Structure 1
Amino acid sequence: MNIALIGNPNTGKTSLFNNLTGSYEYVGNWSGVTVEKKVGLFKNGKNQLIDLPGVYTLNPLSKDEGVVTNFFLNEPFEKLLNILDASQLRRNLHLTMQLLEYGAPVIIGLNMLDVAKNRGIQIDIHKLSESLGVTVAPVVARTGKGCNELAELVTGGAIGTGKNNLVYYGKAIEAGILELENKLAGKVQHPVRWLALQLFEGNPYVKSYLASILPMAELETLIKSVTVSQQQSAGSKQALDQAIHRKRSEVIDKIVSAATTKQDNKKVPHTEKVDMVVTNKFLGIPIFLFLMYIMFMLTFDWLGFPLSDALDSFLSGPLTSGITAALTAAGASSFIKDLVLDGIVAGVGGVLVFVPQIFILFFFISLLEDSGYMARVALVMDRLMESVGLNGKAFIPMMIGFGCNVPGIMAARTIETPKERLMTILLTPLMSCSARLPVYALFVGAFFVEHKAAIVLSLYVLGVVIALILAKVFSETLLKGETSVFVIELPPYRLPQGRALWRSTWDKGKGFIRKAGTFIFAGSVLIWLLAYAGPEGMNVSMDDSYLALLGGIFAPLFAPIGFGTWQASASLFTGFLAKESIISTMNIIYFVPDEASLQGLLAAHYTPLAAYSFMVFILLYIPCLATTATIYKETGSTRWTAFSIAYALIIAYLLSLAIYQGGMLFGLS
């Protein structure tokens, strides 16, 4: 049996999903969109729970929200589990009304009763259940309280479909519903009342569905007729969707009034007290930067490097010795030994040593997200984003880009205006993704031991600053257009669950490990072969290899920005496959003897100024292969894809040139 979980954003839907299911049975994307599709098995192992995207209404504002309507139109399911936020009952019930109109069996999980109580709101669950005609079960999704009872209710026997005619929409709209019922008699499986109301509200997916059954002209005539009739009876020019919303609101107000009582609570809620500080127009951004600094201190100084050093010792010690012994025992040739030890182990292992730092970073990003703070960052950034032709919603894909640019670019689909969506796609690759982090870790460990967190933070901030400057330039030249209004709900602050936090961290970090076993593995083998062979044959000196030949062609171009060696040039080429490949390439090129370290050897090839210039170049230059492919997929334009590569390369070179030559001018090294 398929049961769909649906509710508004920030109602605790993810926590409820995690508590009701033991694990994911399937994780992917809904067809054609970036929204994650999560399907889990109930703990009884018999029923599937399908986690639908959080929406306020079934009438979608963006392509991603259209997933829900498409689900109702095309996917099989038996029951609906609707989660409500008890502290925002009036707003949440608008979606519930549309679900009841669909006519499927519904059960309601009433969450956040503790938050409602703190706000002086008391809810009579029996009266609410009686008003809606469905079972209402109290839960605390964050802790799991009541979840087992809810699971038994929803997976048990028959449950009610609720009162699908709770709202009388007036003579004109009801007549329109009846007319559509007559036209569709025997032609559809879906409830016609729900289809009619969605059509009149302007749902494009329902309209397209109905157009496959009835002529579009017939539908347009019906909509126009109902609109005219409604406006005449109301004596106003109110749009049809507004009239429907008003009628629903009137019924919802009666239900809420009957089922809730509110006490005067003169105390300022805890959330509002914190928001007065963290969303303050003067303090908001400094607080965000301070938290980022603490996050990088934990990632690089306090936790990250000790764990990475321990893993490095294992990889370069027992693991390498064990592989060497196994290859010797198997009678492997010197070529195979060199390939495995100097190519695969050095290349892949050189990337894997940074796994602890990646996971620590993702853990704290997940902590900030799950606590409710990240929504505040978007709100704080809105003031700044608006001044450059974007809004705070565009900063959300950029924040996702800190983890990986690919989902960041795909998340731009939630932005309504084409101009802002395209600009966000073009600018998100400037965000410092986790793939660049190993490069930073390597260089700050070699040249900036006393200021690791500050140097890495400066690179993250630099990416954002450059993106904002370019947004201003683009919005006044290439991409002129109207800026949309930014609306975001601020969820209450919550203490994240340990299990949910780990799952979120793992979901973000596993891609890094997966790339180490695919892209990095293949890249390491290719780089080693190019370094092993040359025009004069096999097993040549590194300086006479094909890799040196390739790097040497472009090395003079990089001399003015501080790293004009063939080794640096060759590393940058492999960075197009995946930014982590830069590290695996360096491990192969700068062959590290047992008594030395890669960081120690880098000191002979770079100065601190050149190292910082190199990191800035890595931050900004061409997007990796996966990101480039995603840009093309999202824009559908070869021209914009080529532009995203070209402008990033030019900006990276010019900024690195200014940093290196400016530093030299001031006597820095």
Structure 2
Amino acid sequence: MGPINRSEILIALAGNPNSGKSTLFNAITGARQHVGNYPGITVEKKEGFYDFNGRSLRLVDLPGTYSLTAYSLEERVARELLANERPAAVINVVDASNLERNLYLTVQILEMGIPVIVALNMVDVAKGRGIEIDAQLLAERLGFPVVPTVARRGEGKTELMEKVLAFADENQRREPLRLYYGPDIDPVLDDMEREIAASGFLTEVYPPRWTALKYLEADEQILDAGNAADPEVSRRLLEKAHRVTEHIKATLDSYPEAIIADHRYGFITALLKGGVVRKSPRADRLYLSDQIDKVLTNRFFGPLVMVLILYAVYQFTFRYSEIPVNLLEKVFSALGDWCLATLPEGPLRSLLVSGIIDGVGGVLGFVPLIVFMFFAIAFLEDTGYLARCAYMLDRIFRIFGLHGNSFMAYIISGGIAGGCAVPGVMATRTLRSSRERLATLLTVPFMNCGAKLPVFALLIASFFSEHRAQMMFLLTILSWSMALFLAKLIRVTLLKGPSTPFLLELPPYRLPTFKGLLIHTWERTWQYIQKAGSVILAISILLWALMTYPGLPEERREAFQAERLAVVEALPSPYREAAASGEPPDAGAPPAVRAAWERLRALDAGESRDALMYSFAGRMGRSLEALTRWCGFDWRTNVALVGGFAAKEVIISTLGTAYSLGETDSEESLSLSRRLQKDPQWNPLVALTAMVFIMLYSPCFVTVTCIVKESGTWKWGLFSMVFSTTIAFILAVLLYQIGRALGFGA
């Protein structure tokens, strides 16, 4: 055998959800891993590398699955990789405390003829429950190595990788496991196997007996592949499968797939007898996790505890991210000041400062908050608590056509406040039903993400300063209500279909490892930086161009300049040069000089406002006034809302520019607040209408891009923009017009 490189040694990690598979993967590969998606689908793909005894192994962490019957994308991905790429070995991670159920997947992998090394994980948990497993005896009966491990502490990793490398070096083809399926199935199974082998039907990918089993189990994916490969052979196999199905229904009132599953579990039961598993009397007692769940999932106390825990998560996130967020703001501010001081005035400086630094810096300034949020969520996820939250809320979500797992997508998107819709959309990957998944990812953008919060804070401070907490609570309730109501609307119209049953294994509570938390946090944060930062850069440059060009007509610019010269010429000679250079007068200057300075500032503001009106963005905002006046919005508000289509973060800065206030940092936000208060176009009713519209209208472009990627088509991304904006406009018009009719618009 020649030299082996990374591409030649493929090792797959397979296992049930919550078996510790990803923890073991992280322990083996450490930082040498990357995360992406499998081509053409939204299932996450994790790969990593491991060097051992001078050899390199490429490890693929397969999606967690209970079986290889392709009822879900995860099961399909796992099965296709095993069948098509034929890894040198599979590390099958099994939960030692739930051995019988976990070995069902092991049996199916062995039936495919793929070498298996069993990582008997969480032996410490099993021992704590009074369960002892003879790993050597189990290995003898299986015919494959069984290595006890504790993935979260890295125990057993070295021995496990030694076994893996030995399998890779052997490079031997293994005979598929052959089980007895009873007198009703075995004769037909043998007949189908002979026909498949004789005709070479799908044999380049799957073992003949395995293909016959899939026909008996009515596996749609294999049936489709068979029909495409040889319709005649497929037809004959289907006829044989149909005859045995009818016979089993008539005699046993069952189906072949149920009989097959029963015999697999019978094989596992026999495998574990005779001293493989020994249980002490305390193994049947109530486990610690069950005792905790008596409180945390209680029908009455559970939801209350959940709210308190989630509130603590956001308190942790905002409290401890405040310092690094402020530090990043100062870094970007200093960078902008340096560019202003270094570069000459012109389009290049404007592009760097207003387009790139302010645009990208506004998004990257959220990174510390994202880090803390994901760290807290990773902690809850790794401890097993988030599964309990989904379990408790499933009853409520099912009323609206959603699934218990939709809960986490809503929370991550800003269900309390301060999340982000991008990771929220990605969190819908845990939903197996395509209808429930689409309904969830189309409505998670209605949550109050961190980009909307500064806008709400500005408008609440301007017009509802006496009731800030009440207004934020109202907006939170409204966002949840609208998301659930619109999800129901989508599920009874566009995405009709029954709700899928909520089958969830509640994993035992575990104390996460700090290394695992860091890896999970970094993976998600890096995805946010990649998806947000790159797109926002392009959007910021585009917005800058739209708000800068084509600029004022020459005659208008000359008129403003003539007025400035007239004001300067009217000043006493000692003050003319300073006024012409833009230098403000000192405190002892005469009132007339200070009035002239204020007049010059007003001219600058007027020129900026007119330049914006003549820009492409300004013209767009004015053209929309015929429609948006029904909501109470003027052209300047329209410009800011158009900018919000790109990213909600830019609404405040765009409002500041539109109202000729220049920079709109937090130190100047009160000036913008006062300007809105004084503007006759704005009042409490307009502010409330604007907040409702901003909450509900089109997701930002980054989120739309993510929706497209997760749904696999631009159709749903465009639908999200049109649907959300239409709903937002209708609700805003109703709110504003009813408010005016009741006299609240004064």
Query: Which TM-score applies when normalising by structure 1?
Result: 0.87
Paired position in structure 2 for 1:11:
19
Paired position in structure 2 for 1:543:
610
Structure 2 counterpart of 1:178, one-letter code: D
Say yes or no: does 1:132 pair with 2:150: no
Query: In the aligned structure 1, how far is the partner of 2:463 from the partner of 2:13?
Result: 51
Query: Where in structure 2 are the equivalents of 1:373-522 lying within 5 Å?
Result: 373-399=385-411, 401-402=413-414, 405=421, 409=425, 415=431, 419-433=435-449, 436=452, 439=455, 459-475=475-491, 480-515=496-531, 517-522=533-538
1:352 to 346, 360, 364: 364
Secondary structure at 1:541's aligned position in 2?
A: helix
Deviation at 1:292, TM superposition (A): 2.5
Structure 1 counterpart of 2:242, one-letter code: K
Paired position in structure 2 for 1:618:
694
User: Percent identity over the alignment?
Assistant: 38
Deviation at 1:283, TM superposition (A): 2.8
Say yes or no: does 1:366 pair with 2:378: yes
Contact 1:288 1:377 in 2 (8 A): yes
Q: Which structure carries more relative contact order (alpha carbon 8 Å, separation 6+)?
A: 1
1:304 to 321, 333, 341: 321
Query: Where in structure 2 are the equivalents of 1:214-233 lying within 5 Å?
Result: 214-215=230-231, 216-228=234-246
Paired position in structure 1 for 2:103:
93
Contact 1:296 1:457 in 2 (8 A): no
1:238 to 254, 262, 266: 254
Deviation at 1:368, TM superposition (A): 1.9
Query: In the aligned structure 2, how far is the partner of 1:297 from the partner of 1:432?
Result: 16
Paired position in structure 2 for 1:603:
673
Where structure 1 has 5 or more consecutive residues not aligned to the other structure, the ranges are none
Secondary structure at 1:17's aligned position in 2?
A: helix
Deviation at 1:410, TM superposition (A): 6.4
Query: In the aligned structure 2, how far is the partner of 1:128 from the partner of 1:448?
Result: 69
Say yes or no: does 1:60 pair with 2:70: yes
Q: Which has the larger radius of gyration?
A: 2
1:448-496 per-residue CA deviation (whole Å, 9 max, x = no partner) reads 9999898767655533322222344455566554333211111112222
Paired position in structure 1 for 2:347:
335
Where structure 2 has 5 or more consecutive residues not aligned to the other structure, the ranges are 1-8, 558-606, 678-682
Greater shift after overlay, 471-480 or 117-126?
Answer: 471-480
Distance 1:443 1:193, change over 3 A: farther
Deviation at 1:100, TM superposition (A): 1.2
Greater shift after overlay, 98-107 or 524-533?
Answer: 524-533
Structure 2 counterpart of 1:32, one-letter code: G
Query: In the aligned structure 2, how far is the partner of 1:516 from the partner of 1:525?
Result: 14
Deviation at 1:595, TM superposition (A): 9.4
1:567-593 per-residue CA deviation (whole Å, 9 max, x = no partner) reads 432122122233344356457556545
1:183-231 per-residue CA deviation (whole Å, 9 max, x = no partner) reads 2337324322222223322322333333344432122123124435656
* Count of aligned pairs: 660
Distance 1:110 1:305, change over 3 A: same
Query: In the aligned structure 1, how far is the partner of 2:108 from the partner of 2:349?
Result: 65
Deviation at 1:39, TM superposition (A): 1.1
* RMSD (Å), alpha carbons: 3.7
Query: In the aligned structure 2, how far is the partner of 1:385 from the partner of 1:474?
Result: 14
Distance 1:638 1:334, change over 3 A: closer
Structure 2 counterpart of 1:334, one-letter code: G
Query: In the aligned structure 2, how far is the partner of 1:135 from the partner of 1:102?
Result: 17
Distance 1:480 1:524, change over 3 A: closer
Query: Where in structure 2 are the equivalents of 1:130-209 lying within 5 Å?
Result: 130-156=140-166, 157-158=169-170, 164-165=176-177, 167-185=179-197, 187=200, 188-189=203-204, 190-209=206-225
Query: In the aligned structure 2, how far is the partner of 1:455 from the partner of 1:298?
Result: 22
Query: Where in structure 2 are the equivalents of 1:281-296 lying within 5 Å?
Result: 281-296=299-314
Paired position in structure 1 for 2:588:
none
Paired position in structure 2 for 1:42:
50
Structure 2 counterpart of 1:91, one-letter code: R
1:27 to 35, 44, 50: 35
Structure 2 counterpart of 1:544, one-letter code: A
Distance 1:666 1:371, change over 3 A: farther
Say yes or no: does 1:577 pair with 2:595: no
1:331-374 per-residue CA deviation (whole Å, 9 max, x = no partner) reads x5533223222332223223333322222222222222222111
